[in-house]
Chain A
Amino acid sequence: MLLIPCPWCGPRDEAEFHYGGQAHVAYPQDPAALSDEQWARYLFFRDNPKGVFAERWSHSAGCRRWFNALRDTATNEIHAVYRVGEPKPVTS
């Protein structure tokens, strides 16, 4: 089980959280203007790197707030957590 440091509550067990997939996926500004290919990309395609991944978590059994994390999907190591709206931290 992951130990996830909620930016508000500190480190808690993964079982308290809900996963939200890739972070920083913006809703298209004008969906109707998108081609079918562009709409498909927005709807179905998400990054799937073996390495550092920016993702969303909700502390659903705690403060119930959403936040973002940078986690390495090859090791599960969490490099950073940051609040929604903050830019993605740069990791080395």
Chain B
Amino acid sequence: MTSMLKILLKNGTGRYATRLYPAEAREPFAKNRADLSFDPGCCRLCKTCSRKCPTGAIEVDKENRTWKRDVFSCVFCGDCIEACPKSCLSFVARPPLPQKHHQQAVVYATVPERSKK
């Protein structure tokens, strides 16, 4: 009986355990796999990322030079990051924000034309 009481008393008098989340957000760990960032500047539209993705979240369109990722399908596994030969993709430590509509979920980028060397 008293054993739990001891723990509770210690909790009651000790340091506050709760993270006061929205008021004080903790710094995310540097290596967090929370979201992806895409750098359109270096992409060669080679489609490797879209082939390796286990959920089919990435769509690359060579004609229109677009690169799309459906955030709602992505499982943040990082296979595309490892696959990209140009290292255009990287992890971001902050998670994506909750959204209220299903259609907003696409990260869309147009890859700029590069000058031929």
**A and B interact:** no
